[in-house]
Structure 1
Amino acid sequence: MTQPLGKNYGGIMQAFALQKVLKDKGYEVITIDYNHKSPKYVYSKARLAYRSAKKMAGKRKAPINLENQINQLTEGNRKFIDKHILQSEYIDNDKNLKKHFKKNRYDAVIVGSDQTWRPKYSPNIYNFYLQFLKGKKNIKRIAYASSFGVDNWEYSVEETKKCTKLAKLFDAISVREQSGVDLCKEYLGVDSELVLDPTLLLEKEDYLSLIGSRYKQGKNEGVFTYFLDKNADKNKAAEHIAQEISTHVYSCQAKHSLGDLSSNNLEDYKLPAVQDWLASFANAEFVLTDSFHGMVFSIVFGKPFLVIVNEKRGSARFKSLLNKLDGLDYLVNDPLEIINGLKDTKNTESFSSTKLLSLKKSSLYFIAESLDKKI
């Protein structure tokens, strides 16, 4: 049970990775294709009329029904998901979610990874605490690498009260950040373990097999940038690094995000396929990113990198992982640190695998022990 798959590369890859880990252990696995449709996302005639008026006035270039083109814009990702991630039927409301679990018999339900326990990213947060399993005492409830995304408590009083009761029904809980361990204890009254994001449980070779001929072994492409929130300073920082190591800058993402309405060309919003995105890390000489999973795949492929902390989206996940790996020097608070030469980009080395291997072993042990535990 995770967040909707399609637009987010990291979300897709963590779902793929956890399925592969479980399948390799001999389990039959299915990811619930759940996307709770909040009323605010439903198109109305009023919204379309408003957007049409703005477009006619020249204040909007993007197509008025851009979000309705999601399947077309994420076609490459959808093909990857259909081929590599086994999903349930599409479920968009509580009634059908309960119906699915009444019809299908599961031994365990795993929540995670990603920011499944962050209310702003998970409409009807109670379903990510498995509220729909009420009365089903024979199904194991496990949280694997669930994340609150931030190190402060974002739940309302009512959400806290209800989620506390639901969390105490879990058979095993693990979270992705150290701050998550603290939040679980302080606000939910439950113990939890710190584990790795599922993407770090696989080997580099697992991802190279997905990339295939896109991998250019022995040939470094340059400085790869992957920014969730683009701006001029980040671009300047990338150019500075490229100049320092005598190479060029390249990217592999949509020209415009869905929140950027400055283009009337639908192709500008189209996402490159997952495999192309992965290959960009594998082929990089250096990576500059503001994304958690951008940081993760720099580590997976053993690339020198710097990560610009993304305070708006939550910095806890960056700091927690880098702290565990003695890698806080890889963190940049402001791209100006790079532009002004305050970060050494020439001598940034890839991580030693020793600490990562230890965390991987304990994370895999948590999965095995949780699933083997009798209820």
Structure 2
Amino acid sequence: MKIAIMTQPLGKNYGGIMQAFALQKVLRDMGHEAVTVDYNSKQPGFLYSKARLAYRLAKKVTGKRKAAINFEKNIGFFTQDNQNFIDSNIIQSKYIDNDRDLKKHFKKNKYQAVIVGSDQTWRPKYSPNIYNYYLNFLVNRKKIKRIAYASSFGVDNWEYSAEETKKCAKLAILFDAISVREQSGIELCKKHLGVDSECVLDPTMLLDKEDYLELIGDRYKEGKSEGVYTYFLDSNEDKVTAAQYVADKLNTHTYKCQAKRSLDDLSSKDLNDYRIPDVQDWLASFANAEFILTDSFHGMVFSIIFGKPFLVIANKERGSARFESLLKILSLDSRLISSSYGVDSGNLNGIDWIKVNKNLLNEREKSLSFISNFI
């Protein structure tokens, strides 16, 4: 079957890249022809761009910004290594940035099914055009199967406006099957969209550890796990201090695999400070760690996949429901802490990996059955 995958734009986020890689690999291993649609909403208009330019100039003049005024034009340089991975490992369509071309693409390619997912595709603040992720461009194409796989709202409260809710509910009932990534998503679907759904695993967890080790290659140091690996999306002094505390307790060091500065930190003139390390190095950092401390959903996921002792700090601004749901399913509730102050010597070990992996295999079987049953 020829299948299109609609997910969020790839490039900046490791988790987003890996879930796209995993879902496409699963579908292709099943014998399907899967293509990830390279879609992003059109860039802001002229007036918005001029306003942003004026804001940057003001920051520059007052000395609050060291990065160049045209800093954003270097995104391709910052994400070059990630893009190389995407180009080599994920089959994508041509780039599309508007509804008209999106409709043309689907009409021309004659897909038999389209899968929306995964990651926070159904979270309005994260998706470029929320209606596109409910397939509004296919309203008159009745022969195409519509499936949501592990779509996530990110949070357990409803963030849609009244108008968005009304329009998305009408589109949701056209889906042949809907699955969500968190248990809370089942209730949100029923209450606000009027549709039934089931909870499945994030696509990254449908693959085995060995699938990722194959990508890592000789970067994996088998039998030589050492160091406390930190993967923070929202780093701060408290989290860094907590990581050092863990390292001291384990008599080791801390390390990370991220750009020196985030794209929100414009305090450096050196463009290399913003360059993102490649995906394989990021994966190897999990595989080679002795312990992992993270505030990222996919940071948590890969800690589990590689069987590493870990703690995840709840990231309420980005949505904590997704952490809670997966950890509960896998009997890992104790690994979630509300803040960096929750780190202590009593929760650095004690994971029953036999039980965890048994639960994971059961959930993986259910999730793969959902895909095979509806494709």
Give the shorter-chain TM-score range: over 0.9
Query: What whole-Å deviation, never above 9, does each CA across 1:319-357 have from its counterpart, x for those lacking one?
Result: 00001111110001010121xx37521445646311110
Query: What whole-Å deviation, never above 9, does each CA across 1:26-50 have from its counterpart, x for those lacking one?
Result: 0001000000125279873443243
Q: Which residue of 2 aligns with 1:125?
A: 130
Q: Which residue of 2 aligns with 1:221?
A: 226
Give, in angstroms, the shift of residue 161 of structure 1. 0.7
Match of 1:368 among 345, 356, 372: 372
Aligned residues: 369
Give, in angstroms, the shift of residue 69 of structure 1. 0.8
Structure 2 CA distance for aligned equivalents of residues 254 and 17 of structure 1: 24
Match of 2:240 among 221, 235, 238: 235
Structure 1 CA distance for aligned equivalents of residues 46 and 251 of structure 2: 46
Q: Does 1:79 align with 2:84?
A: yes
In angstroms, what is the RMSD of aligned CA positions?
A: 1.5
Structure 2 CA distance for aligned equivalents of residues 144 and 179 of structure 1: 15
Q: Secondary structure at the match of 1:35?
A: coil
Does structure 1 retain, via aligned residues, the 8 Å contact 2:169–2:192?
yes
Q: Does 1:356 align with 2:360?
A: yes
Structure 2 CA distance for aligned equivalents of residues 41 and 370 of structure 1: 44
Q: Secondary structure at the match of 1:148?
A: coil
Q: Which residue of 1 aligns with 2:3?
A: none
* Change over 3 Å in CA distance of 1:224–1:41 after alignment to 2: farther
Query: What whole-Å deviation, never above 9, does each CA across 1:182-228 have from its counterpart, x for those lacking one?
Result: 10011111000100000000000000000001001011130000000
Q: Secondary structure at the match of 1:217?
A: coil
Q: Which residue of 1 aligns with 2:154?
A: 149
Does structure 1 retain, via aligned residues, the 8 Å contact 2:246–2:345?
no
Does structure 1 retain, via aligned residues, the 8 Å contact 2:335–2:347?
no
- Percent identical across equivalent pairs? 67
Match of 1:70 among 68, 75, 82: 75
Q: 5 Å matches for 1:176-325?
A: 176-325=181-330
**What code does the residue aligned with 1:353 have?**
N
Give, in angstroms, the shift of residue 124 of structure 1. 1.9
Give, in angstroms, the shift of residue 52 of structure 1. 2.8
Give, in angstroms, the shift of residue 21 of structure 1. 0.2
Match of 2:168 among 163, 182, 199: 163
Q: Does 1:344 align with 2:347?
A: yes
Structure 2 CA distance for aligned equivalents of residues 168 and 46 of structure 1: 40
Give, in angstroms, the shift of residue 264 of structure 1. 1.5
* Change over 3 Å in CA distance of 1:323–1:261 after alignment to 2: same
Does structure 1 retain, via aligned residues, the 8 Å contact 2:28–2:34?
yes
Q: What are the ranges of 5 or more consecutive residues in structure 1 without an aligned counterpart?
A: none
**What code does the residue aligned with 2:217 have?**
G
Q: Does 1:174 align with 2:179?
A: yes
Q: What are the ranges of 5 or more consecutive residues in structure 2 without an aligned counterpart?
A: 1-5
TM-score of the pair, normalised by structure 2: 0.96
Q: Secondary structure at the match of 1:268?
A: helix
Structure 1 CA distance for aligned equivalents of residues 50 and 35 of structure 2: 37
**What code does the residue aligned with 1:207 have?**
Y
